[in-house]
Amino acid sequence: MLMRGAWRAVGSVVIAAVLPAVAMASGLPVVELSAGIHRVQAEVAATPAARQKGLMYREAMAEQSGMLFVFEQTDRHCFWMKNTLLPLSIAFLDDKGGIVNIADMQPQSEQSHCAAAPVRYALEMNKGWFDKRGLKSGARVVGLERLPR
């Protein structure tokens, strides 16, 4: 029987082992972000090829996992879900991590979902993730300063 403290130590080891596996599976770096008290392990899509592929063909994504799209220039970026099997919600983020707007996206759709104002980042999570946590326009995502260069 494990004591409560011992379980926490084991759990930390499991988390530490999973994060590199996520990064290795996609070949993308992973950054820890937070929105209020909610933590996110986000794969970072910072190259044109990584942004183009995004979460295409994935069949599942852990609840606290997502993908952060990083753009070289601030603009009114748009996304679609061609070849994406998971229903997703996307938060468009300004330079400081402020949520400009959030859109829910249906799998395998070519409908465009665009930022309501120029943004530098977009964070995709499982559909409803932001809503379930009460996160709306004006909320802030922190941890962008930890992005790999």
pTM, rounded to two decimals = 0.83
Which domains does the chain possess?
Answer: 27-146 (2.60.120.1140)
- How high does pLDDT run on average in the chain? 86
Please count the other Cβ atoms lying within 10 Å of the Cβ belonging to residue 137.
Answer: 13
pLDDT, position 20:
42
Q: State pLDDT tens for residues 86-135.
A: 999 999 999 999 999 999 999 999 999 999 999 999 999 999 999 999 99
CA distance 43 to 69: 9
Structure tokens, 91: 């938060």
Candidates 90, 49, 51; CA nearest to 69 is 51
pLDDT, position 3:
37
pLDDT, position 148:
73
Give the SS3 label for residue 10.
helix
Query: Which pairing describes strands 113-114 and 119-126: parallel, antiparallel, or unpaired?
Result: unpaired
SS (H, E, C) 81-106: CCCCCCCEEEEEECCCCEEEEEEEEC
CB-CB contact of 94 with 64 (8 Å): no
List CB contacts of 44: < 8 A, sequence separation 6 or more: 28, 29, 30, 31, 50, 67, 68, 70, 147, 148
